[in-house]
Amino acid sequence: MRSKNLGWAGAAAGALLTVSAPAMAQTPAPRSAIQQCQGSAPAEQRAKACTAVLEGTGLAPREAALGHYFRGFAQRDLLQDDAALTDFETAIRFDAELWPAYWARAELLGPRRDYAKAAGDWTEIIRRNPRMASAYARRADNLDYLGRAADAVADYSKAIELAQSKDNVAGFYMDRAGAFEGDHQYDRALADYSQSISRDNRSHGAYMGRGRVEFLRGDYAAALGDFAKAAEIDRADGYAVLWLYLAEARAGHSSPAQLRQRAEQMDLKAWPGPIMRALLGDAKPEQVEPPQRPETWSEASRRAGAQCELSYYLGEVKLLQHEDARAATLFRAAIATDVKEYVEYRAAAYELQRMGR
């Protein structure tokens, strides 16, 4: 599963409100078209209105930039992300100082796994807004996925330093913990996950993260408690069930029957249900089809992500069965997918290191 969410999340829409809309008011386009382009009309109407504005004559660069910027949001609402990306890029070409356009573009690039370019966009935003905590955190997300753990930690730390009451400080700590976890700095990861929980004791992600670190360090009793809490917070989360099963098995009081009992309460067609079926022997690993999400990933990337997860969990089961050589092969298969965003990739790397393989 992904350790962070780089989805649209509405943040770029908030940035939209910072743009000075009157800059378009002097164009030859009808005022009604200008108002619709910038307003809250249905997306299709907004897209058409923005197109009408852009087809007008005598547009100054700033006005053209705003026309593309607002049409980009309409295209996004119409689920036409390629067209939206083109509009945001065009807006930046017309006006490089229109920083919310970088935000909007970064929100599309990250979920497409174009982390280097997205990180560059967040850098542009930070250059213009050096005290915006959330911008540092979002750049850190992308740097972390690029494998630049130290740079990601520095940005998360800056976000924590600059955070105000409106900011999700618990989330900043949780994400910094994830960077520490991926870098196998487990003491620091534990401290940050605990900080996140102290600020939000319903943080499903923080309990899962702390449980993973405890599990990999061999503290199975503590891991059990955290995975159980995560499962209580989100009863539909199949990952909590998977990790809880592994922790119970390592602690010596679990069996496939318990996993089956929990699995029967879930929709096994939904991911990661197919992984549970494979672990239970109800499906062959080669029969497991990848999920349809993340929608912004290519089919090849989604298939690689599914293989990463499946290989990791099967590897853990082989460890439980004392088949270390087979487990190592499966962990290497997880690494071979190169899906560095997934906690299973990072956990597989640690297991191989711990095994001396």
Q: How many helices (H) and strands (E) does the chain have?
A: 19, 0
Does the CA dihedral 38-41-44-48 come out positive or negative? Answer: negative
The tokens describing 43, both together, are 């997306």
**Topology of 177-264 in CATH?**
1.25.40
Domain ranges of the chain: 177-264, 267-357
Q: How far apart are CA 231 and CA 215, in angstroms?
A: 16
Provide the pLDDT for residue 33: 86
Q: How far apart are CA 42 and CA 45, in angstroms?
A: 5
Provide the pLDDT for residue 256: 83
Q: How far apart are CA 25 and CA 35, in angstroms?
A: 9
Provide the pLDDT for residue 324: 96
DSSP state at residue 189:
H
Provide the pLDDT for residue 77: 96
Element (H, E) at 45: helix 43-54
Q: How far apart are CA 54 and CA 273, in angstroms?
A: 48
Q: How far apart are CA 169 and CA 322, in angstroms?
A: 42
Q: Give the residue ranges of the chain where pLDDT is below 50.
A: 7-13, 16-18, 20-22, 25-27
Q: How far apart are CA 196 and CA 177, in angstroms?
A: 9
The four Cα atoms 269, 4, 100, 53 give a dihedral, to 10 degrees, of: -10
DSSP 78-134: TT-HHHHHHHHHHHHHH-TT-HHHHHHHHHHHGGGT-HHHHHHHHHHHHHH-TT-HH
pTM metric for this prediction: 0.91
